[in-house]
């Protein structure tokens, strides 16, 4: 076993190249990570990386990806992480997930036209999955697409969508055969966000005014007789559930990660800097116990992430590992917020400009850990998936095999 | 043995419930949260008029002195709203003045607390936060008959709305060498700003050359620690009751949602994963409820209360927090939409988690009792 | 509210009577509570109490009960508890539960013939609920009773039954209409244990040889063409599920309790007596934390027990409270064993005659807390009951009302 | 990065798995548990012959010195059995001798450990139990070239079967002033009795005027604490691996039972309450697995291991215990029937919970590292 990547001289040379490139291009991020200024910097970094194929390092070169191997990709991730950055599809999870599906299910024309803008960082794509009536029950969507000549007419509403920094493309799952068999009556579309009839309205979520840091600005997207060209249908009519399965897998944590949950190192740093009774807080035995709780959760998260990263990139057969990692991350997020609250007391809750030493990060996390229970499938949905894939209560014959790996 | 409410308590509960459904429905409370003060002066006045603030105050000062359990019933019903406002802060201040004040101070302040014309609170903690007397470091300068205060008190509940801030100051080197000043917030040099974030009513109170006469001392210099401890302990179960009310509301919301929300063709409450959340929620709720009411009962009947109060505070702080977490699991996305109302409770479950000491603090106090603890029936 | 009983002068006089009676009759229990010698003492105490109607204080006098009121009963419980005793139906839970059902469902003749021996402590009755195929699914029993003249012929097998000290009566739920509708095809019988065709064989459960202290000796009972007189059918043919509901309710904790879980006071006493680094163990901060964990769990158990005791005895409408108390007791039992293990280290596991200071009690509890997860309905069954009675996911119309209180 | 086993490790794993299914099926292990010694001498011999005891021993002493991860793979497969026997005790003794022994001692003992002809163990704790050096209070008398031992060592794993007991004795007043004696159990005055209960192989070892020559000292007087600590830390992840194997077996049993057992007309694994137990179980299993293997890897590659080892021990001890608890919830009554086999694991999850220090001990060690802990990637 080897928990750390090992590198060839070529890969070490690549590391030098990345480092030197980052010296010139890495943005300086200050204050609130989610401020419009910082967003613009991250977005620019994405475009710059995209120019070199480093935005989607493992995607095929012909569509704008990097065509890179496993260890090279790790080098890239490591060098980003060393600067507290990560590969920036985090502001474009819609493109990350949608791109993966198009790569599998798109026609040649679709791949050639839709993928390069995504892989080069030129567009931002939102995923539209949840409807007012269909949350965990994605297949129960009531957004309809009806064929009309060369177009589909789309009507419906999706919620908990996107963010606050604008969008170019929307993909979504629609019902194309309302009377049809469940899971066989859906179609998957990649839709330009500026088509007539599309309205985007911010939701008012956990936080003071909906715009609170970390409360995760989300939108409702309304489709009112939106005419979508049929060429934007990916994977064929009524095959949408299959298409969605590809990206749902990724969203359920199957992609893995080599980076740490930063909350342990942050908490450690603050506990070393702050004082209690004239000594560093970190020397207090209760504070240490809270740090150990956070350490334990984040170490296990990291190990599950590494395992999934390795399994995914080396095409091991995966079953329950993605949703397990996702479930653990969601639930341990709540435990970590509690430990932070006991560790830093009421500072855990405030973003007061004068006294808060975390620049709003602690307050934001107390809220976002709650919000994060739900996107990408609720915690319960992750358990449903694990149960199915482990084959609990299922005979050999009916056991679901999810051995297919995804990018 | 009788675990039901008395007729008097049932009437009190009904009165608050009626008030909430008439004057403080959830839509109103969501709007209130966005306001500068964060609560409604009208609701505050109503509480004063109906006598809810004087239940622990002797009749000679205009209170009804009906006891802790009665007050707990009111606080539970307020917490169920959840009605925001300086209710607890003011009642706590009353308990401190009752314990440490001289006759004139009692006459002056308790009367006004009882009728709702005075908003009061306690300021202990400071930017180098820790709960307890050791966290009090603000040391005054003395000038003749005055103290001059310079410094900051942090995380003062309702400090921005208070007319009176009982301010703990450091007047000696031992942890317990603190004193208390009755600071009128209208004097020059006292200002407060609300602390924004996932807070409820916490403020930072700044003193800049604030001149406070020594006659404003509550109790003797360096001799208030015990009285303050007694008052804090007595008030604690009322805060617990407020949290019990909140947890009850989250339970009610979650059960209702489990019936109304349909996914995969069935109400979600038919799924055992969802059932499990509500099962855990109601265990936290009932644990909070019964530890709280037993503590209140022990106070009203003059029993040993220390272990019971620490237990109730630890259990309700954890319990309310977990109740909200489970509520969010039941509600998924709907729960984080502000207009639904669940987050009103979530916010309070966090904001009141560390109030009067986080659960770990109370468990440590309980731990220290272990060498000598007597069980009631021994 | 009043968490403590309050007493009239008459009740205080009754207390004196009980005390003085106990001075003469309370057995001296030493060593292993479950030894045959101690069993015999408890059994004798039961008979002695039964003579005065104190064995079943609230049951009607005409059937051998005490006909006593709520506060008087509490006096009796308190005085027993003061001597570390409890009212001894614990060795006759079958009689406690079965008696309650007969009181509700039995004919006059049945009450007159069956109840007095139970209420006076003359017989020991076992309950037979679980079958090899039907555990949580009690209604799925495959023990059959077929009418034949004045008898029913019973065939089948029940497991996890009784104890190691002999038995006089067995009650059980049988299938009298195998093709009938679920829950409406069962009948409830009170069966003499010495009928021909009944075989009782001890099971080998968690523990060294099945006879381990606290591992709870249980038996398999086989019925091989056992001829049971029809007069032993209680509540009418195919009405057995209704009859069982009465005692299941009690078994699910609805009866409540005013006594403490003794594990906190035991742990406290040992922690005060034992030494660590030359000081009493109880002064160690880690040990204190473990004691607080146990304190918290046992206090909540006690409060749930008091609540249910009061609700039950004063005929409040109960829904989820019984199974909640039962579920909490089962699960916190596991937590308490862990805290005890961290508190006393390996002493938690051994019953070594020389070094173990707990006389086998700690070891026995580590095992019995696991075994206790299942009898009287698994922990999961308690959750099923709570969900149903709280009405989770159920409309008003279909909501199960379990307001009926039981003795 | 490569999280798969090497070919060599796959072969090792296969060899142990084959051995278990052929020679140590669950029925056999249930019978073994009832025997006086609690394990099979034949299985022990086989392990020696196949080289499973010499994997950490240098080749010059007859070992294969293949490394910690390889040994971990073997221990996991043994734990999956669960094959009882003094495997871990003996390997731990080997690590201590490797660290502290002189050439003659290594030659004498390591050679026999490697080939399975010596059963050895460590005796630290005493009736006044606590884990660590402070718990060592047995002080010898000196008579010429001998130590005379009188006293008792408690909770000595496999003490009743051991040929050699490395016995910690108190030789000074500082906590770390201990020394180690290589005690041959055949000398007069040494006796052991197995401790009965929910134990696995714990024994009490009694010394009555046992005369041990000073030449049996392992390391110098009062200078063994560090070497002992190093050896204990190195051996710890192997014990963790044994527990991982056990937790894996409980998972496998539980999943299978969820398919086979039918209640209410469906396999119980279709009920979400049951699914929840298995979901929690596999989280404990995988947490134990990956913390353990990362610790092994760090040892094999010369990295900083202290935090990783404490973490792995805390996580596997809790994890195995919880895995068994969840397994019992899945199996209900069936799980506590001895012939089913689940309780073999439950017993070990308890017996090994506190071995080498309970979870709380390891979390406190981890806590003490917090002021100076460096993350690998910093």
Check residue A139 and give its pLDDT: 87
pLDDT band at A375, cuts 50/70/90? confident
Contact C337, C281 (CB under 8 A): no
Domains and CATH numbers, chain D: 7-119 (1.10.540.10), 121-218 (2.40.110.10), 225-372 (1.20.140.10)
Nearest CA in chain B to D279: B273
Check residue C399 and give its pLDDT: 56
CB contact under 8 A, D328 and C373: yes
More confident residue, A96 or A213: A96
Q: Is D188 exposed, middle or buried (0-12, 13-18, 19+ CB in 10 A)?
A: exposed
D320: left (phi over 0), alpha (psi -120 to 50) or beta: alpha
Decide if A387 touches D, using CB distance below 8 A: yes
Assigned token pair, A36: 């419009």
pLDDT band at B195, cuts 50/70/90? very high
* pLDDT tens-digit series, residues C25-79: 998 887 667 778 888 898 999 999 999 999 998 899 999 999 988 888 888 888 8
Neighbours of A33 (CB within 10 A): 16
Q: Which residues of A touch D315 (CB under 8 A)?
A: 296, 300
Q: Indicate if the pLDDT at residue C325 is higher than 50.
A: yes
Does this chain's domain A125-238 share its CATH topology with A255-397?
Answer: no
Assigned token pair, B67: 């006891």
Q: Indicate if the pLDDT at residue A91 is higher than 90.
A: no
Check residue C73 and give its pLDDT: 86
Distance to chain B for D272, nearest Cα, Å: 5
Substitution target in B332, B340, B347 with the highest count of A β-carbons within 10 Å is B332
* Mean pLDDT score, D290-299: 98
Residue C250 DSSP class: I
Kindly list the strands in the beta sheet with D120-123, ordered across the sheet, starting from the edge strand earlier in the chain.
D120-123, D164-170, D178-184, D217-218
Q: What are the extents of the domains in chain A? A: 9-90, 125-238, 255-397
| Cis peptide bond upstream of D118, omega within 30 | no
* pLDDT tens-digit series, residues A116-130: 999 999 999 999 988
CB contact under 8 A, B276 and D273: yes
Query: Can you say whether the dihedral through the CA atoms of A129, A134, A140, A141 is positive or negative?
Result: negative
CB contact under 8 A, C289 and B363: yes
Distance to chain A for D305, nearest Cα, Å: 13
Q: Indicate if the pLDDT at residue C405 is higher than 50.
A: no
Assigned token pair, D221: 């007087």
Q: Indicate if the pLDDT at residue A89 is higher than 80.
A: no
Q: Indicate if the pLDDT at residue B226 is higher than 70.
A: yes
Of B318, B157, B322, the C-alpha closest to B232 is: B157
Contact C254, C318 (CB under 8 A): yes
Decide if A373 touches B, using CB distance below 8 A: yes
More confident residue, B327 or C40: B327
* Mean pLDDT score, C162-175: 91
Check residue A403 and give its pLDDT: 37
Whole-number percent of chain A with pLDDT over 90: 59
Q: In CATH, what is the architecture of A125-238?
A: Beta Barrel (2.40)
Decide if A387 touches B, using CB distance below 8 A: no
Assigned token pair, B330: 């039941």
pLDDT band at C207, cuts 50/70/90? low
pLDDT band at B135, cuts 50/70/90? very high
Decide if A291 touches D, using CB distance below 8 A: yes
Instruction: Give chain B's mean pLDDT.
Output: 96
Yes or no: domain C9-90 corresponds to CATH 1.10.540.10: yes
| CA A303 centroid distance within chain | 18
Instruction: Give chain C's mean pLDDT.
Output: 88
Q: How many CB pairs under 8 A join C and D?
A: 121
More confident residue, A4 or B228: B228
Decide if D371 touches A, using CB distance below 8 A: yes
Residue D334 DSSP class: G
Q: Indicate if the pLDDT at residue A396 is higher than 70.
A: no
CB contact under 8 A, D267 and A3: no
* Mean pLDDT score, C115-143: 89
Q: Indicate if the pLDDT at residue A407 is higher than 70.
A: no
CB contact under 8 A, C277 and D130: yes
| Distance (Å, whole) CA B66 – CA B52 | 10
The partner residue sitting opposite D195, judged by closest CB among C204, C352, C374, is C352
Q: Which chains touch D (3 or more CB pairs under 8 A)?
A: A, B, C
* Mean pLDDT score, A76-104: 83
Check residue D11 and give its pLDDT: 96
Neighbours of C202 (CB within 10 A): 15
- Provide φ and ψ at D154, rounded to 5°: -110, 155
* pLDDT tens-digit series, residues B160-175: 999 999 999 999 999 9
Check residue C397 and give its pLDDT: 59
* pLDDT tens-digit series, residues D29-60: 999 988 989 999 999 999 999 999 999 999 99
* pLDDT tens-digit series, residues A228-245: 999 999 999 999 999 998
- Degrees (nearest 5) of the Cα angle C98, C104, C108? 100
Check residue B300 and give its pLDDT: 97
Decide if B272 touches A, using CB distance below 8 A: no
| Distance (Å, whole) CA D362 – CA A106 | 53
Judge if pTM exceeds 0.90.
yes
| CA C53 centroid distance within chain | 20
* pLDDT tens-digit series, residues A134-153: 778 888 899 999 999 999 99
pLDDT band at C117, cuts 50/70/90? very high
Of B4, B22, B5, the C-alpha closest to B13 is: B5
CB contact under 8 A, B293 and C304: no
Give the active site residue among C249, C251, C293, C407: C251
| Distance (Å, whole) CA D75 – CA D237 | 10
* pLDDT tens-digit series, residues C242-285: 999 888 877 777 778 877 788 999 999 999 999 998 899 999 99
Q: With H, G, I as helix, E, B as strand and everything else as coil, classify residue C279.
A: strand
Return the axis-axis angle of helices D225-260 and D68-80, rounded to nearest 10°: 40
pLDDT band at C6, cuts 50/70/90? confident
Distances, alpha carbon D68 to alpha carbons D76, D235, D322, in Å: 12, 9, 26
* Mean pLDDT score, A58-65: 92
Of B159, B162, B141, B138, the C-alpha closest to B211 is: B141
| Distance (Å, whole) CA D137 – CA D151 | 9
| Distance (Å, whole) CA C118 – CA D76 | 54
Return the axis-axis angle of helices C285-313 and B272-300, rounded to nearest 10°: 90
Contact C108, C234 (CB under 8 A): no
Q: Indicate if the pLDDT at residue A214 is higher than 60.
A: no
* Mean pLDDT score, C94-103: 90
Q: Which residues of C touch B286 (CB under 8 A)?
A: 304, 307, 324
Distances, alpha carbon C9 to alpha carbons C14, C80, C266, D24, in Å: 9, 20, 33, 70
| Distance (Å, whole) CA C81 – CA C212 | 26
CB contact under 8 A, C4 and B1: yes
Yes or no: domain C255-397 corresponds to CATH 1.20.140.10: yes
Contact D20, D83 (CB under 8 A): yes
Decide if A74 touches D, using CB distance below 8 A: yes
CB contact under 8 A, C366 and D198: yes
Decide if C283 touches B, using CB distance below 8 A: yes
Substitution target in A370, A376, A384 with the highest count of B β-carbons within 10 Å is A370
Assigned token pair, A190: 């990649």
pLDDT band at A6, cuts 50/70/90? confident
Q: Indicate if the pLDDT at residue A397 is higher than 70.
A: no
Distance to chain C for B308, nearest Cα, Å: 9
Contact D218, D182 (CB under 8 A): yes
Instruction: Write the ipTM.
Output: 0.94
pLDDT band at B378, cuts 50/70/90? very low
Check residue C329 and give its pLDDT: 94
Give the lowest-confidence range in A15-24, B9-18, C214-223, C397-406.
C397-406
Decide if D279 touches C, using CB distance below 8 A: no
Check residue B330 and give its pLDDT: 97
Residue C260 DSSP class: P
Check residue A207 and give its pLDDT: 56
Contact B86, B121 (CB under 8 A): yes
Whole-number percent of chain C with pLDDT over 70: 93
Pair type for strands D164-170 and D178-184: antiparallel
Q: Which helix (H) or strand (E) holds C147?
A: strand C144-148
* Mean pLDDT score, D269-273: 96
A109 in catalytic set: no
* Mean pLDDT score, D268-276: 96
pLDDT band at D347, cuts 50/70/90? very high
Assigned token pair, A306: 């590494």
Distances, alpha carbon A327 to alpha carbons A137, A404, D59, D283, D329, in Å: 17, 20, 46, 10, 21
Nearest CA in chain A to B342: A206
Contacts of D224 (CB under 8 A, 6+ apart): D100, D178, D179, D180, D218
* pLDDT tens-digit series, residues A72-87: 888 888 888 888 777 7
* Mean pLDDT score, B57-83: 97
More confident residue, B142 or A258: B142
Which ranges of D221-338 would DSSP assign to H, the alpha helix? Answer: 225-260, 272-300, 306-331
Q: Which residue has the tokens 């051998």?
A: C64
* pLDDT tens-digit series, residues A258-297: 777 889 999 999 999 999 988 999 999 999 999 999 999 9
CB contact under 8 A, C288 and B282: no
Whole-number percent of chain A with pLDDT over 70: 93
CB contact under 8 A, B332 and A354: no
DSSP B268-322: GGGSHHHHHHHHHHHHHHHHHHHHHHHHHHHHHTT---HHHHHHHHHHHHHHHHH
Q: Which of residues 130-169 of A touch B (CB under 8 A)?
A: 130, 133-137, 140, 159-160
* pLDDT tens-digit series, residues D355-370: 999 999 999 999 999 9
DSSP C321-387: HHHHHHHHHHHHHHHHHHHHHHHHGGGGTB--TTT-TTTTHHHHHHHHHHHTTSTTS-HHHHHHHHH
Whole-number percent of chain B with pLDDT over 70: 99
Of B250, B246, B239, the C-alpha closest to B292 is: B239
* Mean pLDDT score, C158-175: 91
């Amino acid at each position: 076993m080897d928990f750390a990547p090992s590198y060839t001289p070529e890969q070490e040379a690549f590391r030098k190249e990345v480092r030197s490139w980052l010296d010139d291009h890495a943005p300086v991020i200050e204050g609130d990570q989610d401020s419009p200024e910082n967003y613009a910097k991250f977005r620019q970094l994405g475009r710059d990386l995209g120019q070199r194929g480093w935005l989607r390092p493992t995607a095929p070169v012909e569509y704008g990806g990097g065509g890179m191997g496993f260890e090279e990709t790790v080098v890239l991730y490591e060098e980003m992480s060393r600067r507290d950055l990560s590969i920036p599809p985090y502001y474009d999870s819609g493109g990350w997930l949608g791109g993966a599906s198009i790569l599998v299910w798109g026609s040649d024309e679709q791949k050639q036209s839709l993928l390069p803008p995504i892989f080069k960082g030129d567009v931002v794509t939102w995923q539209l999955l949840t409807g007012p009536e269909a949350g965990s029950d994605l297949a129960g969507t009531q957004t309809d697409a009806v064929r009309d000549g060369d177009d589909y007419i789309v009507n419906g509403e999706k919620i908990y969508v996107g963010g606050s920094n604008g969008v170019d493309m929307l993909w979504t799952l629609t019902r194309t055969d309302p009377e049809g068999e469940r899971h066989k009556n859906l179609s998957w579309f990649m839709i330009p966000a500026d088509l007539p009839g599309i309205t985007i309205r911010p939701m008012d979520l956990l936080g003071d005014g909906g715009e609170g840091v970390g409360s995760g600005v989300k939108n409702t997207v309304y489709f009112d007789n939106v005419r979508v060209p049929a060429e934007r249908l990916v994977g064929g009519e009524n095959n949408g559930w299959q298409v969605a399965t590809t990206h749902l897998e990724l969203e359920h944590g199957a992609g893995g990660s080599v980076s740490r949950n930063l909350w342990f190192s942050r908490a450690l740093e603050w506990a070393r800097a702050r004082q209690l009774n004239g000594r560093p807080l970190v020397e207090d035995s209760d504070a240490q116990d809270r740090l150990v709780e956070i350490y334990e959760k984040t170490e296990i998260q990291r190990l599950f992430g590494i395992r999934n990263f390795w399994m995914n990139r080396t095409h091991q057969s995966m079953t329950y590992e993605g949703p397990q990692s996702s479930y653990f991350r969601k639930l341990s997020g709540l435990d970590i917020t509690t430990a932070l609250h006991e560790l830093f007391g009421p500072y855990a809750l405030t973003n007061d400009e004068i006294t808060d030493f975390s620049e709003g990060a602690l307050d934001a996390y107390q809220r976002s850990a709650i919000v994060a229970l739900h996107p990408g499938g609720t915690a319960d949905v992750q358990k449903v998936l694990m149960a199915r894939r482990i084959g609990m209560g299922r005979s050999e014959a009916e056991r679901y095999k999810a051995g297919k790996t995804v990018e | 043995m009788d675990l039901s409410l008395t007729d008097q308590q049932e009437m009190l509960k009904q009165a608050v419930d009626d008030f909430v459904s008439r004057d403080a429905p959830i839509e109103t409370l969501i709007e209130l949260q966005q306001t500068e003060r964060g609560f409604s002066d009208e609701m505050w006045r109503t509480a004063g008029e109906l006598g809810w603030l004087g239940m622990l105050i002797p009749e000679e000062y205009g209170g009804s002195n009906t006891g802790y359990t009665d007050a707990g019933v009111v606080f539970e019903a307020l917490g169920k709203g959840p009605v925001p406002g300086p209710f607890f802060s003011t009642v706590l201040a009353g308990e401190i003045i009752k314990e440490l004040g001289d006759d004139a101070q009692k006459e002056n302040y308790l009367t006004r607390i009882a009728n709702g014309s005075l908003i009061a609170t306690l300021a202990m903690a400071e930017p180098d936060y820790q709960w307890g007397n050791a966290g009090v470091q603000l040391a005054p300068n003395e000038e003749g008959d005055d103290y001059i205060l310079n410094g900051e008190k942090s995380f003062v509940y309702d400090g921005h709305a208070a007319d009176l801030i009982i301010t703990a100051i450091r007047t000696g080197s031992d942890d317990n060498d603190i004193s208390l000043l009755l600071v009128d917030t209208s004097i020059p040099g006292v200002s407060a700003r609300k602390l924004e974030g996932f807070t409820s009513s916490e403020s930072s109170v700044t003193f800049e050359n604030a001149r406070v006469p020594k006659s404003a001392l509550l109790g003797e210099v360096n001799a208030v620690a015990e009285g303050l401890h007694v008052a804090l302990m007595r008030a604690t179960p009322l805060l617990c009751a407020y949290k019990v009310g909140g947890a009850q509301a989250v339970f009610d919301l979650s059960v209702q949602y489990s019936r109304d929300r349909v996914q995969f063709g069935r109400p979600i409450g038919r799924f055992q994963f969802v059932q499990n959340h509500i099962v855990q929620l109601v265990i936290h709720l009932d644990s909070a409820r019964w530890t709280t009411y037993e503590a209140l009962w022990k106070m009203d009947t003059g029993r040993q209360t220390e272990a019971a109060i620490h237990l109730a505070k630890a259990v309700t702080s954890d319990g309310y927090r977990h109740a909200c977490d489970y509520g969010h699991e039941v509600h998924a996305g709907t729960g984080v939409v502000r207009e639904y109302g669940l987050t009103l409770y979530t916010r309070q479950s966090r904001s009141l988690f560390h109030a009067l000491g986080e659960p770990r603090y109370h468990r440590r106090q309980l731990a220290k009792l272990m060498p000598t603890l007597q069980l009631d029936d021994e």
